[in-house]
Amino acid sequence: VRSDLGFLTRRQKRRRKSHSTAMASPNLAFVPASLPPAAVEVEALQRFVSHSQRLLVMTGAGISTESGIPDYRSEGVGLYARTDRRPIQHAEFVRSASARQRYWARNFVGWTQFSSHQPNAAHLALRNWEKLGKLHWLVTQNVDALHTKAGSQRMTELHGCTHRVLCLGCGEQTPRSELQKHFEALNPTWRAEAHGMAPDGDVFLTDEQVRNFRVPACSRCGGILKPDVTFFGDTVSREKVDFVHRRLAEADSMLVAGSSLQVYSGYRFALAAHEKKLPIVIINIGPTRSDHFASMKVNSRCGELLPLIVPR
Protein backbone atom coordinates (compact mmCIF):
# COMPACT_ATOMS: atom_id res chain seq x y z
CA VAL A 1 0.00 0.00 0.00
CA ARG A 2 1.49 3.31 -1.06
CA SER A 3 1.63 6.24 1.32
CA ASP A 4 -1.07 8.89 0.84
CA LEU A 5 1.73 11.40 0.28
CA GLY A 6 2.72 9.54 -2.85
CA PHE A 7 -0.47 10.67 -4.53
CA LEU A 8 -0.16 14.37 -3.65
CA THR A 9 1.13 17.07 -5.94
CA ARG A 10 4.40 18.78 -5.10
CA ARG A 11 2.48 21.92 -4.27
CA GLN A 12 0.27 20.02 -1.85
CA LYS A 13 3.34 18.48 -0.21
CA ARG A 14 4.92 21.91 0.26
CA ARG A 15 1.66 23.21 1.71
CA ARG A 16 1.43 20.27 4.10
CA LYS A 17 5.03 20.78 5.21
CA SER A 18 4.51 24.50 5.81
CA HIS A 19 1.45 23.81 7.95
CA SER A 20 3.20 21.10 9.96
CA THR A 21 6.12 23.37 10.82
CA ALA A 22 3.97 26.43 11.57
CA MET A 23 1.47 24.64 13.79
CA ALA A 24 2.00 22.92 17.11
CA SER A 25 1.09 19.25 17.23
CA PRO A 26 -2.68 18.80 17.45
CA ASN A 27 -4.21 17.91 20.81
CA LEU A 28 -5.91 14.57 20.20
CA ALA A 29 -7.26 13.95 23.71
CA PHE A 30 -10.82 14.66 22.57
CA VAL A 31 -10.53 13.40 18.98
CA PRO A 32 -11.98 9.96 18.17
CA ALA A 33 -9.60 7.48 16.58
CA SER A 34 -9.55 7.66 12.79
CA LEU A 35 -7.44 6.61 9.83
CA PRO A 36 -5.58 9.17 7.71
CA PRO A 37 -7.53 10.28 4.64
CA ALA A 38 -7.02 8.00 1.66
CA ALA A 39 -5.36 9.45 -1.40
CA VAL A 40 -8.53 9.07 -3.45
CA GLU A 41 -10.42 11.05 -0.81
CA VAL A 42 -7.86 13.86 -0.88
CA GLU A 43 -8.04 13.97 -4.66
CA ALA A 44 -11.86 13.94 -4.67
CA LEU A 45 -12.01 16.75 -2.12
CA GLN A 46 -9.45 18.71 -4.17
CA ARG A 47 -11.69 18.39 -7.24
CA PHE A 48 -14.77 19.38 -5.25
CA VAL A 49 -13.14 22.55 -3.88
CA SER A 50 -11.56 23.41 -7.25
CA HIS A 51 -14.90 23.15 -9.05
CA SER A 52 -16.69 25.22 -6.41
CA GLN A 53 -16.94 28.92 -7.16
CA ARG A 54 -19.06 29.99 -4.18
CA LEU A 55 -18.41 27.45 -1.43
CA LEU A 56 -20.37 27.67 1.81
CA VAL A 57 -18.65 25.93 4.73
CA MET A 58 -20.38 24.91 7.95
CA THR A 59 -18.24 23.89 10.91
CA GLY A 60 -19.07 22.19 14.20
CA ALA A 61 -17.37 21.15 17.41
CA GLY A 62 -15.31 18.51 15.60
CA ILE A 63 -13.16 21.19 14.01
CA SER A 64 -12.10 22.49 17.43
CA THR A 65 -11.34 19.20 19.18
CA GLU A 66 -7.78 19.33 17.80
CA SER A 67 -7.37 22.61 19.70
CA GLY A 68 -8.08 20.74 22.94
CA ILE A 69 -11.77 21.64 23.28
CA PRO A 70 -14.04 18.61 23.82
CA ASP A 71 -17.27 18.16 21.90
CA TYR A 72 -20.54 16.65 23.09
CA ARG A 73 -21.22 13.61 20.92
CA SER A 74 -17.96 12.00 19.74
CA GLU A 75 -17.85 8.29 20.51
CA GLY A 76 -15.77 7.52 23.58
CA VAL A 77 -14.29 11.01 24.06
CA GLY A 78 -17.25 13.42 23.85
CA LEU A 79 -18.83 14.91 26.97
CA TYR A 80 -21.91 12.68 26.72
CA ALA A 81 -19.74 9.56 26.50
CA ARG A 82 -17.43 10.50 29.39
CA THR A 83 -19.89 11.96 31.92
CA ASP A 84 -23.56 12.26 32.77
CA ARG A 85 -23.28 16.04 32.55
CA ARG A 86 -25.60 17.91 30.22
CA PRO A 87 -25.37 21.57 29.12
CA ILE A 88 -27.53 24.14 30.86
CA GLN A 89 -30.95 24.80 29.37
CA HIS A 90 -31.99 28.31 28.40
CA ALA A 91 -35.19 28.26 30.45
CA GLU A 92 -33.34 27.08 33.56
CA PHE A 93 -30.74 29.84 33.24
CA VAL A 94 -33.37 32.57 32.88
CA ARG A 95 -35.67 31.21 35.59
CA SER A 96 -33.26 30.20 38.36
CA ALA A 97 -30.79 32.45 40.20
CA SER A 98 -29.09 29.37 41.64
CA ALA A 99 -28.67 27.91 38.14
CA ARG A 100 -27.05 31.15 37.02
CA GLN A 101 -24.78 31.14 40.07
CA ARG A 102 -23.73 27.55 39.31
CA TYR A 103 -23.16 28.32 35.63
CA TRP A 104 -21.12 31.48 36.19
CA ALA A 105 -19.00 29.95 38.98
CA ARG A 106 -18.01 27.09 36.72
CA ASN A 107 -17.49 29.42 33.79
CA PHE A 108 -15.36 31.75 35.91
CA VAL A 109 -13.04 28.91 36.89
CA GLY A 110 -12.76 27.58 33.35
CA TRP A 111 -12.49 30.89 31.51
CA THR A 112 -8.72 31.36 31.65
CA GLN A 113 -8.05 27.95 30.14
CA PHE A 114 -10.96 28.03 27.68
CA SER A 115 -10.14 31.48 26.33
CA SER A 116 -6.49 30.51 25.83
CA HIS A 117 -7.22 27.82 23.20
CA GLN A 118 -5.80 28.63 19.79
CA PRO A 119 -6.87 27.81 16.21
CA ASN A 120 -5.57 24.61 14.69
CA ALA A 121 -4.58 23.73 11.14
CA ALA A 122 -8.21 23.37 10.03
CA HIS A 123 -9.17 26.88 11.16
CA LEU A 124 -6.12 28.33 9.41
CA ALA A 125 -6.82 26.41 6.22
CA LEU A 126 -10.34 27.86 6.00
CA ARG A 127 -8.95 31.32 6.70
CA ASN A 128 -6.58 30.84 3.77
CA TRP A 129 -9.40 29.66 1.52
CA GLU A 130 -11.24 32.88 2.31
CA LYS A 131 -8.19 35.01 1.55
CA LEU A 132 -7.80 33.26 -1.79
CA GLY A 133 -11.44 33.94 -2.69
CA LYS A 134 -12.52 30.30 -2.57
CA LEU A 135 -14.71 30.39 0.55
CA HIS A 136 -17.91 32.35 -0.09
CA TRP A 137 -19.20 32.17 3.49
CA LEU A 138 -18.40 30.36 6.72
CA VAL A 139 -21.13 29.35 9.17
CA THR A 140 -19.88 27.99 12.48
CA GLN A 141 -21.95 26.32 15.16
CA ASN A 142 -19.07 26.81 17.60
CA VAL A 143 -18.94 29.46 20.32
CA ASP A 144 -15.18 29.30 20.96
CA ALA A 145 -14.05 32.23 18.75
CA LEU A 146 -11.32 30.10 17.14
CA HIS A 147 -12.35 31.07 13.60
CA THR A 148 -12.13 34.72 14.61
CA LYS A 149 -8.72 34.15 16.18
CA ALA A 150 -7.64 32.48 12.93
CA GLY A 151 -8.64 35.61 10.99
CA SER A 152 -11.86 34.52 9.25
CA GLN A 153 -14.10 37.46 8.38
CA ARG A 154 -16.82 36.24 6.01
CA MET A 155 -18.46 34.38 8.84
CA THR A 156 -21.63 33.91 10.85
CA GLU A 157 -21.44 32.58 14.42
CA LEU A 158 -24.71 30.70 14.32
CA HIS A 159 -24.88 30.09 18.09
CA GLY A 160 -23.07 33.25 19.19
CA CYS A 161 -19.77 33.47 21.05
CA THR A 162 -18.72 32.95 24.67
CA HIS A 163 -16.29 35.86 24.38
CA ARG A 164 -19.24 38.25 24.55
CA VAL A 165 -21.73 38.80 27.38
CA LEU A 166 -25.28 40.04 26.85
CA CYS A 167 -27.64 41.73 29.30
CA LEU A 168 -31.10 40.20 29.00
CA GLY A 169 -32.60 43.45 30.29
CA CYS A 170 -31.14 46.26 28.18
CA GLY A 171 -29.28 44.25 25.53
CA GLU A 172 -25.87 45.79 26.22
CA GLN A 173 -22.92 43.69 25.10
CA THR A 174 -19.61 43.57 26.97
CA PRO A 175 -16.43 41.53 26.47
CA ARG A 176 -16.29 38.35 28.55
CA SER A 177 -12.80 39.39 29.70
CA GLU A 178 -14.30 42.46 31.38
CA LEU A 179 -16.80 40.32 33.29
CA GLN A 180 -13.92 38.19 34.56
CA LYS A 181 -12.58 41.29 36.33
CA HIS A 182 -15.98 41.90 37.96
CA PHE A 183 -16.08 38.30 39.15
CA GLU A 184 -12.63 38.65 40.69
CA ALA A 185 -13.59 41.89 42.47
CA LEU A 186 -16.77 40.37 43.90
CA ASN A 187 -15.11 37.11 44.93
CA PRO A 188 -11.62 38.04 46.18
CA THR A 189 -11.25 35.05 48.51
CA TRP A 190 -13.37 32.49 46.63
CA ARG A 191 -11.41 29.49 45.36
CA ALA A 192 -12.39 26.29 43.60
CA GLU A 193 -10.49 23.60 41.78
CA ALA A 194 -11.90 22.47 38.47
CA HIS A 195 -12.31 18.84 37.46
CA GLY A 196 -12.67 18.50 33.70
CA MET A 197 -14.04 20.91 31.10
CA ALA A 198 -17.14 21.00 28.90
CA PRO A 199 -17.29 22.24 25.27
CA ASP A 200 -18.53 25.72 26.21
CA GLY A 201 -15.85 26.37 28.85
CA ASP A 202 -17.95 25.14 31.75
CA VAL A 203 -16.01 23.09 34.31
CA PHE A 204 -17.11 20.52 36.85
CA LEU A 205 -17.69 21.89 40.39
CA THR A 206 -19.78 20.63 43.28
CA ASP A 207 -22.81 22.50 44.63
CA GLU A 208 -20.87 23.14 47.82
CA GLN A 209 -18.06 24.82 45.89
CA VAL A 210 -20.38 27.28 44.12
CA ARG A 211 -22.59 28.11 47.11
CA ASN A 212 -20.86 31.38 48.05
CA PHE A 213 -19.97 32.57 44.57
CA ARG A 214 -21.33 36.06 43.83
CA VAL A 215 -22.64 36.98 40.38
CA PRO A 216 -22.79 40.63 39.24
CA ALA A 217 -25.82 42.16 37.57
CA CYS A 218 -25.68 44.46 34.55
CA SER A 219 -23.96 47.69 35.63
CA ARG A 220 -26.26 49.64 33.34
CA CYS A 221 -29.73 48.36 34.23
CA GLY A 222 -29.29 45.65 36.90
CA GLY A 223 -30.44 42.95 34.48
CA ILE A 224 -29.36 39.33 34.11
CA LEU A 225 -26.02 38.74 32.40
CA LYS A 226 -25.80 35.81 30.00
CA PRO A 227 -23.16 34.65 27.52
CA ASP A 228 -24.06 35.86 24.04
CA VAL A 229 -24.72 32.29 22.95
CA THR A 230 -27.77 30.20 22.11
CA PHE A 231 -28.21 27.79 25.00
CA PHE A 232 -29.88 24.42 24.49
CA GLY A 233 -33.64 24.90 24.40
CA ASP A 234 -33.36 28.37 22.89
CA THR A 235 -33.65 29.23 19.20
CA VAL A 236 -31.42 31.09 16.77
CA SER A 237 -32.92 34.44 15.80
CA ARG A 238 -35.00 34.57 12.63
CA GLU A 239 -32.80 37.40 11.32
CA LYS A 240 -29.66 35.27 11.58
CA VAL A 241 -31.34 32.21 10.05
CA ASP A 242 -32.62 34.29 7.12
CA PHE A 243 -29.16 35.81 6.63
CA VAL A 244 -27.53 32.37 6.38
CA HIS A 245 -30.24 31.20 3.98
CA ARG A 246 -29.40 34.18 1.74
CA ARG A 247 -25.72 33.23 1.77
CA LEU A 248 -26.70 29.64 0.97
CA ALA A 249 -28.84 30.87 -1.94
CA GLU A 250 -25.68 32.47 -3.38
CA ALA A 251 -23.59 29.31 -2.93
CA ASP A 252 -22.96 26.57 -5.48
CA SER A 253 -21.71 23.91 -3.04
CA MET A 254 -21.52 23.12 0.66
CA LEU A 255 -18.83 21.62 2.87
CA VAL A 256 -19.63 20.42 6.40
CA ALA A 257 -16.56 20.08 8.63
CA GLY A 258 -16.62 18.56 12.10
CA SER A 259 -20.36 18.39 12.72
CA SER A 260 -22.74 15.49 13.25
CA LEU A 261 -25.58 17.88 12.27
CA GLN A 262 -27.71 16.44 15.07
CA VAL A 263 -28.84 19.90 16.15
CA TYR A 264 -31.57 21.20 13.83
CA SER A 265 -30.25 24.78 13.82
CA GLY A 266 -27.33 23.56 11.69
CA TYR A 267 -28.98 20.60 9.98
CA ARG A 268 -31.61 22.84 8.41
CA PHE A 269 -28.97 24.40 6.14
CA ALA A 270 -27.65 21.04 4.96
CA LEU A 271 -31.26 20.07 4.26
CA ALA A 272 -31.81 23.31 2.33
CA ALA A 273 -28.62 22.72 0.32
CA HIS A 274 -29.84 19.21 -0.53
CA GLU A 275 -33.21 20.59 -1.63
CA LYS A 276 -31.34 23.07 -3.87
CA LYS A 277 -29.46 20.07 -5.30
CA LEU A 278 -26.10 21.51 -4.27
CA PRO A 279 -23.20 19.06 -3.97
CA ILE A 280 -22.48 18.46 -0.27
CA VAL A 281 -19.26 17.03 1.17
CA ILE A 282 -18.99 16.06 4.84
CA ILE A 283 -15.77 15.66 6.83
CA ASN A 284 -16.55 14.19 10.23
CA ILE A 285 -15.33 11.30 12.33
CA GLY A 286 -18.48 9.27 12.90
CA PRO A 287 -21.96 9.32 11.36
CA THR A 288 -23.92 12.48 10.68
CA ARG A 289 -27.57 13.26 10.09
CA SER A 290 -26.88 14.01 6.41
CA ASP A 291 -24.64 11.12 5.36
CA HIS A 292 -27.38 9.63 3.20
CA PHE A 293 -27.55 12.60 0.84
CA ALA A 294 -23.93 13.78 0.88
CA SER A 295 -21.96 13.60 -2.35
CA MET A 296 -18.97 12.41 -0.32
CA LYS A 297 -18.31 11.60 3.33
CA VAL A 298 -14.78 11.44 4.79
CA ASN A 299 -14.14 10.05 8.29
CA SER A 300 -10.94 11.99 8.96
CA ARG A 301 -9.61 14.77 11.13
CA CYS A 302 -10.36 18.21 9.69
CA GLY A 303 -6.92 19.44 10.73
CA GLU A 304 -5.28 16.60 8.85
CA LEU A 305 -7.31 16.86 5.64
CA LEU A 306 -8.21 20.52 5.01
CA PRO A 307 -4.58 21.81 4.86
CA LEU A 308 -3.89 19.34 2.02
CA ILE A 309 -6.35 21.11 -0.26
CA VAL A 310 -4.99 23.85 -2.52
CA PRO A 311 -7.79 26.26 -3.54
CA ARG A 312 -7.68 27.17 -7.21
Catalytic machinery residues? 159
The answer to whether the beta carbons of residues 147 and 65 sit under 8 Å apart is no
Q: Is 151 left (phi over 0), alpha (psi -120 to 50) or beta?
A: left
Say whether 260 counts as a known binding-site residue: yes
Say whether 215 counts as a known binding-site residue: no
Task: For residue 94, give the nearest of 279, 293, 230, 283 by alpha carbon.
Answer: 230
Say whether 221 counts as a known binding-site residue: yes
Say whether 144 counts as a known binding-site residue: yes
Say whether 300 counts as a known binding-site residue: no
CA distance 122 to 60: 12
Say whether 283 counts as a known binding-site residue: no
The answer to whether the beta carbons of residues 219 and 251 sit under 8 Å apart is no
Say whether 234 counts as a known binding-site residue: no
Task: For residue 15, give the nearest of 117, 119, 132 by alpha carbon.
Answer: 132
Say whether 202 counts as a known binding-site residue: no
Supply the DSSP string of 135-203, one letter for each residue.
EEEEEE---S-HHHHHT--SEEETTEEEEEEEETTT--EEEHHHHHHHHHHH-TT-------B-TTS-B
Say whether 61 counts as a known binding-site residue: yes
CA distance 139 to 135: 11
Say whether 266 counts as a known binding-site residue: no
Residues at the binding site for Zn(2+) are 167, 170, 218, 221
Residues at the binding site are 60-80, 141-144, 167, 170, 218, 221, 258-260, 284-286, 302
